Chains A and B, each alone.
Chain A
Amino acid sequence: MSAARTPVCEDAIVRLAPYARLKEDKIRQCMVLLAPERVLFPCPTTVMILERLDGSCTLRAVVDRMADEFEAPREVIAADTLRMLADLDRQALLDVQPVETGHARH
């Protein structure tokens, strides 16, 4: 991990940290988020968002697609998503990368 941190924002590529894993818990019949010494039980909406964070595009694109799919106001989805992800980021459960601009980065 680099020292300079990118905050969670729509221009970033956001995904789970390499040590965090989302999986189905067949015994408890829910999804669980596993990280070192932590077991979290995300709500279904959180799960749905996390499942879309595959690292292939910016958060902006993810929010766009959800707004389309659920025919919901984009600003509501964006606000909820950012709030949830900022919370996970504070718990060091996310990997947040700036978008490559095509310029040399140093």
Chain B
Amino acid sequence: MLDIEPAAPPSTLKEPWGEPPMGMLAELTHRCPLQCPYCSNPVELERVAGELDAAAWKRVFAEAVELGVLQLHLSGGEPTVRKDLEDLVGEASRLGLYTNLITSGVLLSEARLLDLKRAGLDHIQLSLQGATALTGDRIGHYKGGHAKKLELAKAIGRAGLPLTINAVVHRQNLDELEGLIDLALACDAHRIEVAHVQYYGWALANRAALMPTRAQLERATAIVDDARVRHAGRLMVDYVIPDYYAKRPKPCMGGWARTVLNVTPSGAVLPCHAAQSIKSLTFPNVQDHDLAWIWQSSEPFQRFRGTDWMPEPCRSCSFKEQDFGGCRCQAMALTGDAANTDPACEFSPFHDLLRLTAEDEAASEPPAFTYRRPLANAPAMGTPGLVGATKGMS
């Protein structure tokens, strides 16, 4: 019959490493003019001197296609700081990749946008930090940024490029969620991604300043549900919930090394952008190995792939093929052992502490942001654990 399956491909490939990856996130640089306190980049930002050049990236794109990657997300940092971006988009498009640019938009001129379109760009994701200039500029720590973003959104419409608005939400901008959805409609975006902050790297360091209350979360969920109905067929609303208040963890990255891979500016290959927080793993680099070997055989990709690595309670749990035990980086950050069940799961012995931590932090005055910037310029900061627990307690 006429089926259209979002799930697994009609697999003839039953290799020990499972399926080939479908998507690749290429972090072209960690440079960025904005300083969002929830940035998903690692706290130790990579330097420009170590960035792969265009020739190296092109080779990685070609290897990715050979391996089965269909979609390429050009990200950062801010990918448009790279002068060779048009060249990279052109090559990705020539290779047949569905090419998506994830940008803060503040550096992108209309002329350059048209060049990117000509080079074959398929889609743009533009971030908004708030619905008003006051909030947006404060959170991105970039004066005039919000206005530039709205200008760019208009130019994207004029260029006829499809647009998704990325809205990362937290206690300091959730009151503007309706406004963010209205802006997405006004910008003629076909999709908005409303994503509650996920607490790794910079976001973990800023958790107390970002954690919403349960009431804020419930209100946000109601707004999203309502918008989905009201704007059905016109605006898709994708929603990522904060798992500190959840009962079950999210299937992080669709399972470790299962559908996507991430390449850092200097060429390290990771199963997810936060994976370098697991210090016991050494991630291979595209300058030393080809992508197929990295995906199929390298130790860090095998380490948490599938379900065989799982301890209890995941091992004997019927949800293990659905959520793959949640997020390894969150388990690492909050329980001190990446092989533990994600504490977002109600069956984790750390789960109650997680909920209490969220409630505790959300109820307190928010501390000042630690803005994302290269470490030499950043104030000293610690990484918070859970209330009443110290990191490493397990």
| Interface residue ranges, A against B (CB under 8 Å) | 1, 3, 5, 17-19, 21, 23, 25, 27-30, 32-34, 36-43, 45-46, 49, 80-81, 83-84, 87-92
Contacts and interface: CB of A to CB of B under 8 A. Distances in A.
B248 interface: no
Contacts of A19: 122-123, 162, 190
A30 B162 CA distance: 26
Secondary structure at the A interface, as helix, strand, loop or mixed, is mixed
A5 B2 contact: no
Contact of B2 (A21, A29, A38, A84): A84
A87 B70 contact: no
Given A33-B4, A80-B1, 15 more contacts: A5-B233, A5-B234, A19-B123, A27-B68, A28-B9, A28-B68, A34-B71, A36-B100, A39-B6, A39-B22, A39-B23, A45-B2, A46-B3, A81-B2, A92-B234
A43 B191 contact: no
Given A46-B2, A46-B3, A92-B233, A36 B164 contact: yes
B6 A40 contact: yes
B2 A36 contact: no
B6 A30 contact: no
A30 B191 CA distance: 27
Contacts of A28: 9-13, 20, 68
Given A17-B190, A34-B70, A36-B162, A92 B236 contact: yes
A91 B232 CA distance: 9
- Between A19, A25, A38, the greatest number of chain B beta carbons within 10 A of the residue's beta carbon is seen for A19
B341 interface: no
A88 B234 contact: no
A83 B164 CA distance: 27
B70 A39 contact: yes
How many chain B residues sit at the interface, stated as a range, is 35 or more
Contacts of B12: 28-29
A37 B98 CA distance: 10
A74 to B, nearest CB: 16
Contacts of A21: 98, 122
Contacts of B7: 41
22 contacts: A5-B233, A18-B162, A19-B123, A19-B190, A21-B122, A25-B68, A27-B67, A28-B9, A30-B10, A36-B100, A36-B164, A36-B191, A39-B71, A40-B4, A40-B6, A41-B9, A42-B5, A43-B2, A45-B1, A81-B2, A84-B2, A91-B236
Contacts of B193: 37
Given A19-B190, A33-B4, A1 B160 contact: no
Contacts of A46: 2-4
A36 B164 CA distance: 8
Interface in B346-379: none
Interface in B77-125: 96, 98, 100, 122-123, 125
Nearest to A29: B12
A83 B2 contact: yes
Contacts of A33: 4
Contact of A87 (B4, B20, B68, B190): B4
